[in-house]
Structure 1
Amino acid sequence: MNDDDLTDFADWLSEGKQRSGRYINRLLLRVIDFYIWAQDTVLGKRIVGGDSEFLQISISRKIVKVPRGRGRSIRRHRAMLPNNVPRTVHPMSTKVFYNLLDSSDKLSKTGFVRKRNRMLLVLLADSGLRREELTIVTVESILQSAENGMIKVKTSKRRGNPERVIPLPRETTDALCEYVKTSREILIRRLKKRHAGFIDEGWAFCTRYGGRLAPSTISQLFSDLREHANVSEVATAHMLRHRFITIQLVTRLKKAGSKSTIGVEFLTTILSQLASVSGHASIDSLWQYVDWAFDELDQAEDADVSANSKAKEIIVDMIEDAKACQDDTLVQDLRIVLETITTLETGGTVNRSVLAHSLRSRATR
């Protein structure tokens, strides 16, 4: 095996199936790791080294800066391909979410797993948790959420995993408490009877054996649900996080609907408040949600206009029928309703500045 063989292997991987450059590079690094292991344990001689060592396989290293001023060593081989442009993942649609939710009731044969998976999906949608954060949600935090409507979670991807609190709808906290007090409690009782010395670690979304779920298990669950629900588009746990954050931003923008223009400073304040709920270290990565939120608002406004037009058509027909029946009082009342709808159509909807749709680029300058 030499450098040319690795190049041929990379060319073969890039043919046929649509594999990303990032995926192919991971495979190449795995092959290189195997030969590093082999040279130390089997071959008895070195075949992998730096560019200046002139061995069979030559790799180079460079230091790449990462957040907080640290550096990370990156290995490269000449056979590696350029990484693809990161794919933009949009929020999960409501239709897809409910398809997955319906499939969760049918996918598993075990009652506990069915209930757990359903509550897992509901909490992801209503809290915007990351996979890693969901796996360490405790029974205690769920029971406490029933008292104050806030669930306390540990934030991943932050130094020290600081705790944050997320508001939950009353229906969600009630459903979660019912799950831990019934389905999960029954499972734990059975495990204690079957296994002497079994200790409940308190994970809310545990496995059938009482252990902590792995984040990869959640990813596999979404893959299985997609297949079972015949969902062709991408649907991941992180897309539910995108959905939650977008809805939260839409709600805050609706409250500010009286403002004809929404400035950068105002949006910065909203995103700062949202970051404390979503667990983002800074608001820089939240600006993408501004465009998604305005898209949601535009779609809602289009739906309102369509509904108003349909209502006006119905009222006009009713006015004609009232005239035919010579019911002048009804005609007058219906005209008042028609004028009210027309007024709401023209004056009730606030026109947002076009500037608002491009605030992200302006804020980063």
Structure 2
Amino acid sequence: MQYYKLLSALLLVGLLIQCKEEKKSSDEKDVNAPMSEVVESKIDTTPILVEKPENIKAPEGMVWIPGGEFIQGAVPQDKMAMDHEKPAHKVKVDGFFMDITEVTNAQFAKFVKETGYITIAERAIDWEEMKTQVPEGTPKPHDSILQPGSLTFKKTKTSVPNLYDFSQWWNWTIGANWKQPNGPGSSIKGKDNDPVVQVAYEDALAYCQWAGRRLPTEAEWERAARGNKPESIYFWGDDDTVLSQMANTWEGEFPVNNSKADGFEQRARVKSYPPNDFGLYDMAGNVWEWTSDWYNTNYYNELNAINGPVVNPQGATNPYNPNMPYAREKVMRGGSFLCNASYCASYRISSRMASSLDSSLEHLGFRTVATVSMLKEDK
């Protein structure tokens, strides 16, 4: 299942296109996405679980996220908010456990060692399968291109007047994978505590199955990120002047020069910056994180149309993105070391982007969650 991994390289689509999306009214709906197929979540009057049950112990490396009601989506004072972060809407989620950090290279390496798992970026590419998922008539790339690999970032030598054209800073790199995240010659040696990257959605699910965990829903992720600051732009408040102290982002002119004011140019080891209210690290910047929700451009509008808070929303029932009609995309959250105010400022809590299932990128990782019911089943 590698069609979009390579398609991203061939056509350079499916990669953070929403960072500079063409704005349309945030309350405008696309008639091509039927309402009946968008929302599977309904209002539920069942009380939510707020506090951690006394008989349940937090798994190692995880922390309890109290259940609660909150407003999901862009806050009113956020001038950088994009249309797909609106409208804000009421949500309730049960309490759950979440990894304190993003899954690290060391943790992923242990999984691979015990299971023999091979990531998507390391697998051979099947053109016959891939071409069924691309526009009809797309020519077959040369065999020299149809090789396992992934997308890596490259600086530009001069200023970039058109930030819509992300082909200027992304490369299809044969041989790039989680062990060589920046391509051949790069290594994770000595970087056990860096977040693992170059993992596609399927890879993250495989890790979750092995670990007895799952990926967070988008609502769970935002509940965890907001902590006790339900009305803030960032997890620490609204002050962007302290950004370099709080998160690993791109500081300087993107994508030409990174001043490294925050101490890092690429990925930072986990726990390099202060945690949020719930004790979670890197909920802003460093690497994007997969969630389990399909990316559907109408989803927030449909949730907002429901009269009351939606309990434990599971995301849209189907993916839909008019800019990417062939893609099957999942929502990713949290921003990365490539986020800059001139580009997408995705270190904001409400920031959300989409990535195709087969995409593996050098700035995309994940963290896991566990529910009380999952832990009871393990006993």
Q: TM-score, normalised by structure 2?
A: 0.23
Q: Radius of gyration: which is bigger?
A: 1
Higher relative contact order (CA 8 A, sep 6+): 2
Greater share of strand: 2
Q: TM-score, normalised by structure 1?
A: 0.23
